[in-house]
Amino acid sequence: MRWRKQGMVYGPDGRSEWARHTALQPTPLLTPDGRFRVFVGMRDERGVSRVGFVDVDAANPSRVLRVSGRPALDVGTPGAFDENGVVPCAVVERDGRLYLYYAGYQLGRKVRFYVFGGLAVSDDGGETFRRHARVPVCDRTDRELLFRVIHSIMREGGRWRVWYGGGSEFTTERGYQLPNYNIRYTESADGFSLPEDYAVCVDTGGEDEYRVGRPYVIRHGGLYKMFYSAGTKSRGYRLAYAESEDGVRWERRDAHVGIDVSESGWDSEMQAYPSVVAYGDRVYLFYNGNDYGREGFGYAVLERW
């Protein structure tokens, strides 16, 4: 693969109280009028994320058409799994509604944080969402004690195929807790609950790599293609890529991802949180740069697979 970088699309200018900085995990939805509504997590001064959106021209995503003035999904109530932040992961059209799978954050006492997957519903095209439930759609299990977040969900043959991030621990590196999780696959009958059984799709490899996450799965050319983030102790986050014939067994082909950090600028130290969408004969890659998207998100255009 080879991608041609197009630079930054959007980052908050700091004037909005709920959206001081960051546009995390760009999650695009193509609208009937030729726009991408890109859902992102925008952070306030304390770093708490709320879901907003950025509408861009699908023919030219550098052109921002509109930015949400208020959160489309706010944080949960005190004590809830998403009391300390919500970040969009996957958006699905179903029965005339939009379903937003999102990551809910809670801070811990003995571990730094928890992340579990929630579900919210919109009847107005994503302007506002209400919670499907106040608890996660994929809550903690014996084998996923701390992290369990749906990132890709696809209906095939009467069932919902789910690629998600799951894990049970932090490891301590020079006094700092690093979250450990990998990419897993399971199937859901209804899209509203997950079984506990799963298959690992992409695991962490070697001493240096401590997490792989944000699996964004597409179908193309008879294959399942997964774009994801791989986090190492030495280099931080990089974009990565895997392929599969059945969506269950995957081959890591990270070197094939065809994009790397820039020499300077907003994506010079880190690239992560990918999403890949087609518009006509073009294929776009949206992603975040340095410091978990603090400056915003950008995109690249596919030159060749």
Partner 1 sequence: MGRVYAPDGSRAWAKRYAFPPTPCLREGGGVIRVYVTFCDAEMVGRVGFVDVDADDPSRVLRVSEEPVLDIGTPGAFDENGVVPTCTLEVDGRLWMYYVGYQLGWQVRYYQFEGLAVSDDGGDSFRRVRLVPVIDRSDAEMLNRTSAFVRRRGGLFQMWYVGGSDWTTVNGKALPMYTIKYLESGDGVRWGPEGRVCIDYESEDEHAFGKPFVIEDGGLHKMFYSVRTRSKGYRLGYAESRDGHGWERKDAEVGLDVSESGWDSEMVAYAAVVRRPDKVYMFYSGNNLGETGFGYAILESW
**DSSP state letters, the chain:** -EEEEEEEEE---S-SSS-SEEEEEEEEEE-TTSEEEEEEEEE-TT--EEEEEEEEETTEEEEEEEE-SS-SB----TTSTTTT-EEEEEEEEETTEEEEEEEEEEE-SSSSEEEEEEEEEESSTTS--EES-SS-SB--BTTBSSEEEEEEEEEETTEEEEEEEEEEEEEEETTEEEEEEEEEEEEESSSS---S--EEEE---TTTEEEEEEEEEEEETTEEEEEEEEEETTTEEEEEEEEESSSSS-EE-GGGG-----SSSTTSS--EEEEEEEETTEEEEEEE-HHHHTS-EEEEEEEE-
* Stretch near partner 1 under the rule CB under 8 A, chosen from 4-12, 14-22, 79-87, 89-97: 79-87
Q: Which stretch binds partner 1 (CB under 8 A): 47-55, 131-139, 205-213, 296-304?
A: 131-139
189 contributes a contact to partner 1 by CB under 8 A? no
Q: Does 48 bind partner 1 (CB under 8 A)?
A: no
One residue of 170, 181, 198, 284 binding partner 1 per CB under 8 A: 170
**CB of residue 44 to partner 1, shortest distance in Å:** 15
| CB of residue 129 to partner 1, shortest distance in Å | 16
Give 83 or 254: the residue with its C-beta nearer to partner 1. 83
Q: Of 139, 243, 254, 269, which lies in the binding site for partner 1, with binding defined by CB under 8 A?
A: 139
Q: Binding marks (x or -) toward partner 1, 258..287, rule CB under 8 A?
A: ------------------------------
**Which residue's CB is nearer to partner 1, number 107 or number 199?**
107
Residue 1 binds to partner 1 (criterion: CB under 8 A):
no
Rule CB under 8 A: choose which of 5, 20, 140, 256 binds partner 1. Answer: 140
Minimum CB separation from partner 1 for residue 58, in Å? 36
Instruction: Tell me if 80 contacts partner 1 by CB under 8 A.
Output: yes
